[in-house]
Amino acid sequence: MKDLGVDAYRFSISWSRIFPNGSGAINQAGVDHYNKVINALLAKGIEPYVTMYHWDLPQALEDKYLGWLSNEIINDFANYAETLFQKFGDRVKQWITFNEPHSFTVQGYDTALHAPGRCSILQLCKAGNSSTEPYIVAHNVLRSHASVADIYRKKYKKVQGGSLGIAFNVIWYENETDTQKDIDAAQRAQDFQLGWFLDPLVFGDYPSSMRSRVGDRLPKFSEAEAALLKGSLDFVGINHYTTYYARDNSTNFMGTLLHDSIADSGTITLPFKGIKAIGERANSIWLYIVPRGLRSLMNYINKKYGNPPVVITENGMDDPNSPFTSVKDALKDEKRIRYLNGYLSALLDSIKDGCNVKGHFVWSVLDNWEWSAGYSSRFGLYYVDYKDKLKRYPKQSVAWYINFLKPNK
């Protein structure tokens, strides 16, 4: 990273490495490990951006009270977060409470694509309720963040001088046609994605479209909770990769039967208009290269949320991990260079538009395990040879990125 010329690195701390049982006794070996990571970064002049929760709930808390479905988790998460402030806050100044709450809320408790694999769709899961559980989980996540922000501001911020944010996953949605129905659908799609989490943190409540469409299944914040939520972000983290079309789906018959968070939005979102793709595809079936979407998203956040400080906490694309591709050929990643050049140019345009953008992180430094895609997907600037002791090789994008980051370029 020092060779690259980066001045910040974002990584996650694993809750169960600090508290193997979710609470109780601290695991000193875990604390020691992260101290080494933090100190090594600082020794190279690289600022740590630490994420507290990247979907790895301690199993003990799932067994004890079903994790995020229980109010009990608010205190346990706050205790974990405060421990991080105590152990690392003298050196860590940039905190992210949650990575992609929308992802683990919907994919863990609605579609069951991620842990804990709960759903009620066509009885595909052993347990769950897709019409209520995503909303309960999101509610507890938001209240947990507000509790942690309150603790930090009252006890640590003045002494440690840090900032606290959340990293939201955001696809930009373009209306498929210029009809009012599709324009409204694109807004609803965003309400049920970014608005679901950011509206309460800025305005103190969920978007009105969610209130009207979800009804009593959407939990309510008390006045005290709303007051705690409002303004509890020092910066907005945005994980952005791609743009989709949105069209109206208000008369969806299946949706009226399912009543899950996807159907509730009354939209269909796809990277196609007819058979024509919105842009060139990367390796992942969901990732299409549409740089203009990042500029549109930045301007949307500027106008709707009062131009808060924004850090692009993830942005990048993947190549396939094919057994038939040699290491030499895998290092030729011209598409990644085109992707980064396009998206960083769009980000620069948004800054010229007046958007309050403070930073950008490429996803990712190294090829890594990509959740349900496993090792089939390579997002790294550096190639990792999984067959030869995890040796790392710079891809062509490394040279491009070093040049991009050079001062006065």
User: What are the domain boundaries of the chain?
Assistant: 2-405
pLDDT at 409: 58
pLDDT at 224: 98
Which pairing describes strands 235-239 and 310-314: parallel, antiparallel, or unpaired? parallel
pLDDT at 372: 87
Catalytic entry in 133, 174, 314, 370: 314
Closest CA to 340 of 317, 320, 311, 321: 317
pLDDT at 250: 77
Q: Which CATH architecture has domain 2-405?
A: Alpha-Beta Barrel (3.20)
- Is 72 annotated in the active site? no
Q: What is the crossing angle of helices 133-155 and 72-88, to 10°? A: 40
pLDDT at 4: 95
Using DSSP's 3-state secondary structure scheme, residue 375 falls into coil
Q: In terms of DSSP H, where are the helices of 116-252?
A: 133-155, 157-160, 180-190, 196-203, 208-214, 223-229
**51 DSSP β-pair partners:** 12, 96
pLDDT at 376: 95
Q: What is the pLDDT along the chain (409 residues), one digit of tens a residue?
A: 999 999 999 999 999 999 999 999 999 999 999 999 999 999 999 999 999 999 999 999 999 999 999 999 999 999 999 999 999 999 999 999 999 999 999 999 999 999 999 999 877 899 999 999 999 999 999 999 999 999 999 999 999 999 999 999 999 999 999 999 999 999 999 999 999 999 999 999 999 999 999 999 999 999 999 999 999 999 999 999 999 999 999 776 555 566 799 999 999 999 999 999 999 999 999 999 999 999 999 999 999 999 999 999 999 999 999 999 999 999 999 999 999 999 999 999 999 999 999 999 999 999 999 988 999 999 999 999 999 999 999 999 999 999 999 987 5
For residues 73 and 79, give the distance between their C-alpha atoms in angstroms, rounded to a whole number: 10
- Is 100 annotated in the active site? yes
What are the tokens at 131?
């019409």
CA atoms within 13 A on the CB side of 49: 21
Using DSSP's 3-state secondary structure scheme, residue 68 falls into helix
Closest CA to 190 of 176, 173, 205, 177: 173
Closest CA to 319 of 372, 273, 384: 384
Catalytic entry in 62, 100, 133, 280: 100
What are the tokens at 292?
């203009």
pTM score, whole prediction? 0.97
For residue 301, what are the contacts with CB-CB under 8 A and spacing of at least 6?
236, 238, 307, 308, 310, 355
- Compute how many other C-beta atoms are within 10 angstroms of the C-beta atom of residue 114: 16
Angle formed at CA 235 by CA 162 and CA 84, multiple of 5 degrees: 40
